[in-house]
Structure 1
Amino acid sequence: MNQTKTVALLALLSGLLISVSYFLIGGWTGAITGVVLAAVTNLGSWYYSDRIALAAYGAQAVSYNQAPELYQMVQKLSDRAGLPMPAVYIVPTQSANAFATGRDPEHAAVAVTEGLLNILPPDEVEGVLAHELSHVANRDTLTQAVTATIAGAISFLAQMVSYGMWFSGGSRDNDNGPNPLGMLLTVMFAPLAATIIQMGISRTREFSADAGAAQLTGNPRALANALQRLSNSAKRLPIDGNPAFEPLLIMNGFSGQFLGNLFSTHPSTEARIENLMRLEQELGSQSRPFVS
């Protein structure tokens, strides 16, 4: 179900890009321009997304000798999931968070913060790592790079056209050109719609990764406990980094209702915990009590 929803949202986002190009630039020339722009930027994000994300948070690669417990845990979970061993990184901050990146499982990296390692017990660290490896297995890191790029292309086109409208006074030279009112509405609402769709894709993939982690560890409650601790910690000490990469993080620390959830990159912590508790009943797993 989540996979189908993701494909549908990606198709909707791609259709929005083509439509925006069609209306803003004009005709099929505009649509083709949008497709070419998306293709070029997607190629760049596909190849360089891991390096950009790791640099954005100042992540530092660690070897087995530098972090043996963490390294062994990642190795064990990767073997269990049938994945190549990813590169392991630690982010030097007391903010508690984690993320995975890379264009495919063969070029993946998993990063955790020092703060996360300080506040979580080993079984909860394992749950977080299993969540990130589920992202790698599902190629969510590539999906997020693609959605961010398409949404960025839409915003770029809208911004360029808005500049053009400002300097030209919103006039059109012939009746075959774009309608000024249509252009104005597109410039105003297309980036907003793209952002909402992007956030929807991110939230869907988080639920899937939580479920994948529960299956991988057989201990959904450990991840539920970790999510609660991380949520509490993120509200006190949010991670410092580029907001564009927030969908990669396991926790954004923001909760709210209606519009808050609409623009959030992650589902509410409460919804994720509730889903994990349902999975625990299905798996029949026995673990220590939930930490509130």
Structure 2
Amino acid sequence: MRRRTALGLAARAVAALCIQSTLAVAVGAVVVCWLAVGVAVASLVVPGMGFRADAPWLIAVAGVMVLAGLATEVERRFDRRREALLPEPAPDDDTAGALAEQVSRLAHQAGVAPPAVRTADRIDPRCYTVESDETPVIVVSAGLLDALDERERRAVVAHEVAHLANRDHRVMRWVLTPVVAAAQVSEGEPASHDPVARAVDRAGDSLLLWGAVGVGVFSRGREFAADAAAARLTGDPAALAAALRTLDDELADPPDRDRRERAVATDALSIPPLDRSRRGPTATHPDTAARIERLERLVERAETA
């Protein structure tokens, strides 16, 4: 069973790599084509310019400069997203202190450095990990603490520790990079009289959709893997199944405040998914029923062992 699961995860990783590689190449091609059209238009409309023999070299140099600027902006976006997701540490937070001790024990079991733990004053139940240059931070919302009992909370933070042990956040950053670059290409409202800008914008939208499929393929596999690893860490797959069921019910009809808060969140590697509107190939999380079914099979195997 484990071998089949490992093969399935490997197939997802290969598929995601192929999708995101084509996306990265396509983003570069869109940029180069945009520059080539710009040079061609300039040669026609600028008096005395004409066609330059070194135009291909000019396009190549300009393309490298634009892509370098794009890479810098992508890095800034990741930094802004990290800042938006990371709440300020609360002074004398006894709950976060108790959770941190629990997380430290789980991290020791998993063989990773213990992450920090912070609680967020949010009514929607969320738990996610924010990577940083120093110590990763597991963020747990007040809504999640209210919704789950201690056993279920332990299972949820074990899921996040499993993501860290599997290095999912580092890999996900590479998976997301071409998507963020495509978002840069598609941003803005081009003037209606500018056919080149409109074409670039439409190309960017198509690339974004394609990239979202790649993210979904990879992320759904990692969620299954983190569920299984959390069950091994706690020895209690039923607790994670119960937590997922509770959180799914809690978020069935979220209040307006939840919708506004969700706008600043990341989509991948969290419990539950921060953007529940994603469905089908672009969904970052498997269907909750499928996750619970797998966990219940683990419970059955443990009972018959």
TM-score range, shorter chain: 0.7 to 0.9
CA distance in 1, matches of 2:74, 2:183: 15
Identity of aligned residues (%): 27
Q: CA deviation at 1:285?
A: 5.2
Q: Quote how far apart the aligned CAs of 1:77 are.
A: 0.8
Q: Which moved more, 1:201-210 or 1:139-148?
A: 139-148
Q: Gaps spanning 5+ residues in structure 2: where?
A: 1-6, 37-58
Partner of 2:29: 22
Equivalence map 1:48-87=2 (5 Å): 50-54=82-86, 58=87, 60-61=89-90, 65=94, 67-87=96-116
State which structure, 1 or 2, has the greater radius of gyration over its C-alpha atoms.
2
- Does the alignment pair 1:269 with 2:297? no
Relative distance call for 1:34 and 1:201 in structure 2 (3 A) is farther
> Which residue, out of 149, 160, 163, partners 1:135?
163
Identify the residue that residue 48 of structure 2 maps to in structure 1: none
Q: In the alignment, is the contact (CA less than 8 A) between 1:47 and 1:103 conserved in 2?
A: no
CA deviations 1:222-251 (Å, max 9, x no partner) are 101100001111223364233551324211
Q: Which runs of 5+ in 1 are unaligned?
A: 172-179, 287-292
**1:74-223 alignment to 2 at 5 Å?**
74-103=103-132, 107-159=135-187, 163=190, 166-170=192-196, 186-223=203-240
Deviation, structure 1 residue 134: 0.8
Counterparts of 2:276 and 2:146, CA distance in 1: 24
CA RMSD of aligned residues (A): 3.3
Structure 1 residues 184, 116: closer, same or farther in 2, change over 3 A?
closer
Q: CA–CA distance in 1 between the matches of 2:68 and 2:25?
A: 10
With normalisation by structure 2, the TM-score equals 0.73
Q: In 1, Cα distance between the equivalents of 2:69 and 2:222?
A: 25
C-alpha deviation, 1:163, in angstroms: 2.8
SS at match of 2:266: helix
**1:100–1:132 Cα contact (<8 Å) kept:** yes
2:16 to 9, 25, 28: 9
2:97 & 2:272 partners in 1: Cα distance?
Answer: 25
- CA displacement 1:62-118 (0-9 Å, x = unmatched): 6675544322211211111122121111011221120012157x6211111112111
Aligned CA distance change for structure 1 residues 156 and 126 (closer, same or farther; 3 Å): same
Residue pair 2:244, 2:288 contacting (<8 A) in 1 also: yes
Aligned amino acid, residue 247 of structure 1: A
**What is the 5 A alignment of 1:218-233?**
218-233=235-250
Provide TM-score, normalisation by structure 1.
Answer: 0.76
Give CA deviations for 1:231-282 in whole Å, capped at 9, x if unaligned. 11122336423355132421137779xx833332211100111111223334
Q: 1:279 to 1:98 in 2, by over 3 A?
A: same
SS of equivalent residue, structure 2 residue 129: strand
| Structure-1 residue corresponding to 2:39 | none
- Residues 185 and 111 of structure 1: is their aligned pair in 2 closer, same or farther, counting only changes over 3 Å? closer
Among 256, 268, 271, the alignment partner of 1:250 is: 271
Name the CA shift for 1:253/1:169 in 2 (closer, same or farther; >3 Å).
Answer: closer
Return the alpha-carbon distance in structure 1 between the equivalents of residues 248 and 132 of structure 2. 27
Distance in structure 1 (CA, Å) of the matches to 2:16 and 2:163: 18
Asked if structure 2 preserves the Cα contact closer than 8 Å seen for 1:22 and 1:31, the reply is no
